Amino acid sequence: MLNLAERHQIILQKINQEGYINVVDLCKELQVSSVTIRKDLKLLEDKNLLFKTHGGATLKSPYTADRPVNVKEKLQSSEKMKIGEAAARLIEPNDSIIIGSGTSVLALAKSIHPVQSLMIITSALNVALELMKHADIEIIQLGGILRKSSSSVMGPYAETVLGDFFCSKLFLGVDGIDLEFGLTTTNVFEAHLNRQMMAASQKTIILADSTKFGKRGFGKICKLEEIDHIITDKGISKHIVDTLEGMGILMTII
């Protein structure tokens, strides 16, 4: 039977390889109880070697803070542009779509070059301004309380308007994707609006660079099982990809 130091060495090696570890898997591999594994994870967290999460642990802090959109736009910018370009290829002529807020969906807006008419509903002011240059795009700008950090609106006015529409696709940016907790954003009111957007759409497509995985924001949008497609970059771990594909989520990795 392995001693404490040997268990910790294996745990750290595994989390450094995969980025995330699961308590159940560790119990089977190390042949110890879940109580023992949770104590091990707590000791390693106290040494700042990992972060405990529900059902496991991650190498990076799972908690994300709100940042201004002009700051976020500079992070992972090349990955976001590739994600936006891949998402734009999913848009069909005469489509009716919803675009949420965030820098990844702004990259989508910059990549849209319509060959026929499109109807686009958005909560994001910067997305609407980017799309205004296209004569073939009809834009419905949702109204409500302006959230300056994301250059977007939220609240009951925006939610009420969404009740009058049903679109083929929703392109949504998020602040966190956690295998246990689901999809989140840093603002609970924006999370609620995102849920209303999902209800008004046939398909939900998430645009998220690999740094968003294993993160949690304050406001929960939905469970992972409720989304259809995720577009991300090659920085995502194989363990996360395999888990999400096992849930039936289509994964596009650029």
pLDDT tens digits for range 74-85:
667 899 999 999
The contacts of residue 6 (CB under 8 Å, 6+ apart) are none
Co-location of 147 and 43 in the same domain: no
161 and 143 in contact (C-beta within 8 Å)? Answer: yes
DSSP assignment of 157-211: HHHHHHTT--EEEEEEE-SEEETTTEEEES-HHHHHHHHHHHHTEEEEEEE--GG
Q: For residue 251, is pLDDT > 90? A: yes
Average pLDDT estimate for 111-130: 95
Confidence at residue 56, expressed as pLDDT on a 0 to 100 scale:
87
What does the pLDDT look like over 168-203, one tens digit per residue?
Answer: 999 999 999 998 889 999 999 999 999 999 999 999
Of the pLDDT bands very low, low, confident and very high (cuts 50, 70, 90), residue 214 is confident
Instruction: Check pLDDT > 70 for residue 65.
Output: no
Give the mean model confidence (pLDDT) for residues 93-97: 96
Q: Give the span between the Cα atoms of 76 and 173, in whole angstroms.
A: 14
Identify whether the C-beta of residue 96 lies closer than 8 Å to the C-beta of residue 167: yes
Same domain, 124 and 47: no
Q: How far apart are CA 70 and CA 115, in angstroms?
A: 30
64 in a domain, yes or no? Answer: no
Query: CATH number of the domain that 158 lies in?
Result: 3.40.50.1360
Nearest to 58 by CA among 6, 31, 23: 23
Domain count, the chain: 2
The residue segments making up the domain with residue 34 are 4-58
Answer yes or no: do 95 and 210 share one domain: yes
Question: How many Å separate Cα 83 from the centre of its chain?
Answer: 12
Residues 111 and 23 in one domain: no
